[in-house]
Each structure stands twice: as structure tokens, then as C-alpha cells.
Chains A and B, each alone.
Chain A
């Protein structure tokens, strides 16, 4: 192989060598051991699952759009571990990845999603009528409520891999679809590129604006490419329904409002999503969805519902209680600081949201948030009176 390359370097005529047609083939010049990443210092799901044998088997494969195993795992190789969060360490570049690289991704999904098997089926339920209660979370404690999810548009590569042309096509389709929304969902699109100072400031003040990713996890997977080309934010006039275009996923859909009326938030969420989905379907570009994976998104951690529903809630006593973590685990909830992932809690206010994504429906997950937060507030009130919470301890859900 090398002697052929030497010929090519100096003159391009007269050689009948078969030239490699992609870097994947070129890399086959090196043994699997030579190409295998050093994961000895790593702590993420990918590093725990990927073996040399698996690498040998998958390294010469690529999806029809050209995404390879090395592309899938690069972010996990470059980012050995997050101090507080067990990161996934791999991404999908297109829908087919979940099939071509299933030997790697199925076990990663299983580890990440509590044992979800390759044969399991995922249930989708976006009927808000099925949510019980949720309209009366105590506003003295619950500052705001929010539900978000992501959607990928079939026929396009995902953010780590999409070309500029694809990204622009996604933006164009999204704008067309969103412009068809009416009533209290009626709104406007703000492209990141060419946004005025004034618009930018308003969006920042409303906490709507997303910025170029700085997280090395996202950058290492290629999601920051061509920023801010074809990125933008759409929101309704009431500022309760928000769509991010081409950030970490093709679409991120967010419903939110001040106070504790999670039912209303979820209602708007479901209706808005379904309306958007209809429009995309009409245009021949439905959302990526399978019976096994549910809604297909870039990061394997967001498969299934891709839903994170939660509240900003004041729990100054509860959060200092030694059993706080245990309660959350039993309720199948997680906490974050109030700046979102990777931030600390300010003034005892926590972002409490569902832990699960796959294997349970949207209604199930929001129900867990509603029920769980209600209990946490009860416990907080009890602690305020200096009484123990033992009798309130929940069973493992």
C-alpha cells in the first residue's frame, strides 16, 4: 500500500493501484490494535462498552451517508469523563447509525436507560388528557414549569454530520411548518444569523436565546460547525412555546410558563407538537421514529420520548436533608442547578425533572414529575416545622 502511495504523491500518471475511496478504507492499513483508542482513563458509557473485538468488527462499516464508528465515538474519546455526570460518549450522525452500529449502541442504550433491551418496544403517548392532576403544584414553591423534547426530521443527517445544505433545508422546512401555527401558538422565527442587537437582548432577557455550544462534549462531536448558519429560535407571541432549530437536535420543542400549572404546560406541549408533526408529514418529512427507539435523536440518552419535564422548585430544607438523593432516586427524578445541566443550585432552588426517557411514555414521565414534586413540597413543608419526613418516604417506583 505504501509504495503505491509513494507513486501517487509524486506523479498521478501510470499507476494502476486501487486508490482507497474513503478514509475508512485508508485506515484499514493499520491494524485494529493500532487504531483502537486508549480508553484506560475514561469513564463514560461508550468506554465501558467498546471492546477491541467490537472495534475490529465495526471499524470498516459506515452508514449510507458515510458516518463511521470513529465518528460515533470521537466525542467519548476526546472527553474522558464528566465529574458529576456519567456521559454517553457517543452520538448518532443519522438514523441508520442505530442499526449499523447496534453492537455498540444497544448495550450503551441498555446501560443508560436502566436495562432497556434490544427487543423492547417503546410506548408513545402524547394525549394530555391522560395526565392526572398537575394543575395545582404550590406556586409558593414552584417557580416555573417546563417540558422539552427533541425531534429529528427524516431524510436528513443529524447535527454531528449534516451538511450546510441539509441544515439550511431543515431550517426552511421548520419555518414553513411553524408559520402555519395559529391561535395561542402563533409566533415568529428569529434566525441567529443577522439577529439585531435588540432582538438578541430580548431573547436573552427572556432566557430563550441559546448560544454556540461551548461544552466540549458537543463540540467534539461536530455540532458547532458552521455556527450560526441555519440556526434560529421560534417562539409564540405569549412566549410559552419555543422551538430551537439546529442546536443539538434538528428541533428542540419547549413549552413553559411561570408557576406550577404543569397540566397547562403539558397540554400546550402535546398540541403544539402534534400540529407541527402533521405539517412535516404533509411535506413528506415525518419525524424519525421507530417502534423500538421511539423518537430518534442525536444523543442516545434522549431516545424514547426525548422528554425532560420539570420544575424550578424551592427546596432549601429538603435539599440539605441527607436523604434528598435517595428520595429523588426512588421517585425516578433527577436534580440540576437552575442554569440547566452542568450548573449549581442557587438559593436552594433546584431544577427537578424526570430521569427516564425510554420505556415509558410522555404521559408516564410527566406524571412522575407531577407526583414526585408534590411529595417533595410536602416534605419541605414538614421540614419547615422541624418534623421528620420518615413517614413520607416513598417506595421505589
Chain B
């Protein structure tokens, strides 16, 4: 199915990545190497994604015969294991730069900060708050490429880790395979159940293979902390509740993310200084964090400046079904755009959302407050554009 690396002979260089000569029977093996390399170069002329922008024939030529220690090649374009980010750096660095606003993984370091100071939002407008991130278990291949054995290993490790949570984080694991009808219905009603991916983006990357083998959902008894196992990433962690108390949601999130529990299993999360937490899709590197609210913005959303406002606030909107859905009844899912190079706490200052108010004078008051506040923390809110 996928272009697994060609065999049989390989040379091993100490101190460098191993290179595999493709000894596959290519019909044009006696053609000039340049022509042969170009023959496989993908046609990205109609493509509009970061990969297409950054993958030049030169980079392709340089990297196409190289494999990671796990045996993955460039043609397996999406992340297959942690080493891919290093082995195919010539490609991933410019992609990351483009997607994450000029962040250069070669030179920049990603800060991690899980301390929040304020985050209380007006419940007249904010219906629910949610923080999610992902984590990958080091030394196991990522979802596009993991074998069944590896995926089952991830499930085993994660369910043991979660079994170690207690207090208001105590909960239960539900494997997708063999789930009872009753459990399934309940999880659907609670909006906790995830299904086999239908997005062609995920399917083409191989994330749906062997479904539903080794996939499952864990949640605490209060249903405010949720973990998805082996969906788009090894682990997706979600903290959520009704209303606008983002601080509480975030606190719970940080408590749940106890790394020492996974150390007990002899494992660790994939992380490095430059990329932060490593996840399958380069768009989720860094904090991998998406903090969001479901918020009612019937008037602001119709304003033509709405997209600009969001951009200036470094936020993105989605419909209330999540990514790729439309907004229902002017309820939007508003979340942070950045993942890399922002201290997590700064992302959660959502005071700007209070710009929406029922009366003009209240609005002006809030604008003044926000301006004064934003000057203080040195963060641009593009207030000029809002203040009309």
C-alpha cells in the first residue's frame, strides 16, 4: 500500500542518519539520476497547503532516498515518527515557519508555561469552554504509520496511566472495539464519542487503518476531563465544561497532564526544545493546544470586520461542530490560532470578547478597559478596527 522503503542493502554511517539505496526494480534505473528523481516528484501545481509551498524539487531530490531509523521515507509525507522531523528537516522547517508565523525551529526555542492568572468570561455569551491538546508517546510510531502492535501498546500504556488518576479526575476507559450499545449511546448523547475519521485529509494519511482496533475514550466521572486514545494523535486530552470559567477548565487540564504518571510506565512524551510537544500534524506542534469557547456573536459575526478582528486577536473561528462545520445560530467556536511560541497563559486572555455588549456606553467602557489592559501586557488587540 504505502511506499515502504526499498530493500535490501543499506550502508550505516556512525554519527549520521542511515541512507538506504533504493534497489527496487525501477524501470528507469539506468536513466540519469536527475531524470529519475524528477519522475517521482509530486505535482503540486494545484495545491494550496504549506507542503506545496515548501517542497521544491531540490529538497525532494535530496531527501527521497533517506529514511528514518523506523524505516519511513519522505513519500510518506505526513509525520510517521519523531525522527521524521529531524531527518526531513529540510522540508519541515520551512513548513513550520510558514504555518507558525515565521517560527524557525532551527534557532528558536519554544516556551512551555502552564500557569494561568485570569480567565472568567461572561456567561451570557459564552456557552462552554474547552481546552485540548495532544501528546505522543516517545519511541512509538505516530498514527499515520504505527503498526497494530504499536497502537495496542499505546492503548495499554495510556489506559494504565489514566487508571492512576484520582479524586475528581478518577474515571473509566471505554474501548471502541466491543463497546456496548448502551455505553455508545450515552457517549454520543454526552458528545464525547469520536468516530472513524471521514475527513479525506486524515484518511489519506493512514490514520484510519485497522479501525477501531486499539481506539478508545476515557473520561472522568464528572465528564469534564476526556482523553481520546489513538485517534489523530496517540493521546488527545480535553478539559471542558459549560459556562465561561476558563480558568477552572485550564487548571484541571494542567493537573491532568501529569507527566510523572507516564514516567512510571517507563515512557515519556515526545518533546524537544525547538518543537515543543511533538504531534502528528505540524500544525499542532508546540503546545498542541486549542483553547476554545462556544460563544454567541450574532451581531459581531455579521460585521465584515469580523475576520480581521479575529486575525488581530490571533484567534480562529469554526462552526459549532468543530473544524469544517458551519456556525449554528451564530454560535461560534473561537480558539487560539497559535500553537508555537506563545506562552500558554497569554493565549487565554479573552477580555477582547467582552467587546460585544448590549449598550453603546458599556461597549465604550470596555474598550477603554481593554486598551489600558493591553498596553500593560504589551499585546496588540487591533482595537482601532473594533471601535466603530
Contacts and interface: CB of A to CB of B under 8 A. Distances in A.
A194 to B, nearest CB: 9
A19 B177 contact: no
A165 B26 contact: yes
B1 A27 contact: no
Interface stretch (A30-38, A176-184, A301-309, A326-334): A30-38
Contacts, number: 145
A130 interface: no
Contact of B148 (A2, A34, A156): A34
Contact of B147 (A18, A30, A62, A93): A30
A8 B12 CA distance: 13
A74 B83 contact: no
A70 interface: yes
Contact of A14 (B15, B139, B152): B15
Interface stretch (A143-151, A221-229, A263-271, A379-387): A221-229
A21 B72 contact: no
Contacts of A36: 148
B83 A9 contact: yes
Interface string B84-103: 00000000000000000000
Given A21-B20, A26-B71, A30-B147, A62 B7 contact: yes
Query: Which of A161, A164, A165 has the most C-beta atoms of chain B within 10 angstroms of its own C-beta?
Result: A165
Interface in A201-257: 219-222, 224-226, 229
Contacts of A12: 15-17
A222 B15 contact: no
Interface residues on A, range: 35 or more
A298 to B, nearest CB: 11
Contacts of B69: 5, 8, 19-20
Given A164-B40, A169-B28, A13 B6 contact: no
Nearest to B87: A12
A71 interface: yes
B203 A219 contact: yes
A23 B72 contact: yes
Q: Please report whether the interface of chain B is mostly helix, strand, loop or mixed according to DSSP.
A: loop
Contacts of B83: 8-9
Contacts of A21: 5, 7-8, 10, 18, 20, 67, 71
Nearest to A21: B10
Given A30-B149, A30-B153, A19 B139 contact: no
A364 to B, nearest CB: 34
A353 interface: no
Contacts of A75: 1
Contact of B39 (A6, A9, A71, A165): A165
Contact of B42 (A16, A160, A164, A193): A164
Contacts of B14: 13-16
Given A12-B15, A38-B177, A62-B7, A222 B25 contact: no
Given A21-B20, A34-B149, A35-B148, A9 B208 contact: no
Query: Which of A13, A29, A66 has the most C-beta atoms of chain B within 10 angstroms of its own C-beta?
Result: A66
B139 A24 contact: no
Contacts of A163: 3, 40, 75
Contact of A35 (B39, B141, B147, B177): B147
B39 A168 contact: yes
A22 B71 contact: yes
A86 to B, nearest CB: 21
A5 B208 CA distance: 26
A12 B83 CA distance: 10
A168 B10 CA distance: 28
Given A8-B83, A21-B18, A226 B42 contact: yes
Interface string B354-383: 000000000000000000000000000000
Interface residues of B, number: 53
B285 interface: no
Contacts of B12: 18-19
Contacts of B17: 12
A6 B71 contact: no
Interface string A41-80: 0000000000000000000001011111011001101100
B388 interface: no
A25 interface: yes
B4 A23 contact: yes
Nearest to A170: B27
Interface stretch (B104-112, B161-169, B187-195, B209-217): B209-217
A66 B5 contact: yes
A166 interface: yes
Contacts of A156: 27
A25 B41 CA distance: 27
B223 interface: no
A339 interface: no
Contacts of B145: 23
Contacts of B4: 22-24, 62, 66-68, 71
Nearest to A64: B25
Query: Which of B7, B17, B83 has the most C-beta atoms of chain A within 10 angstroms of its own C-beta?
Result: B7
A193 B153 CA distance: 42
B43 interface: yes
Given A23-B5, A62-B4, A165-B28, 19 more contacts: A8-B69, A22-B71, A23-B70, A26-B141, A26-B147, A30-B150, A35-B148, A35-B149, A36-B148, A37-B148, A37-B213, A64-B25, A66-B5, A66-B6, A70-B147, A156-B27, A165-B40, A169-B39, A229-B42
20 contacts: A20-B69, A21-B5, A21-B67, A21-B71, A22-B7, A24-B71, A29-B149, A30-B147, A34-B152, A35-B147, A62-B4, A65-B6, A66-B7, A67-B4, A161-B3, A165-B40, A166-B26, A169-B28, A222-B1, A226-B42
Interface of A: 2, 5-6, 8-9, 12-16, 18-27, 29-31, 34-38, 62, 64-68, 70-71, 74-75, 77-78, 93, 155-156, 160-161, 163-166, 168-169, 193, 219-222, 224-226, 229, 285
Give me the 10 closest cross-chain CB pairs, A-B, nearest first: A30-B149, A165-B39, A13-B15, A165-B40, A34-B149, A222-B1, A23-B71, A35-B149, A71-B1, A22-B71
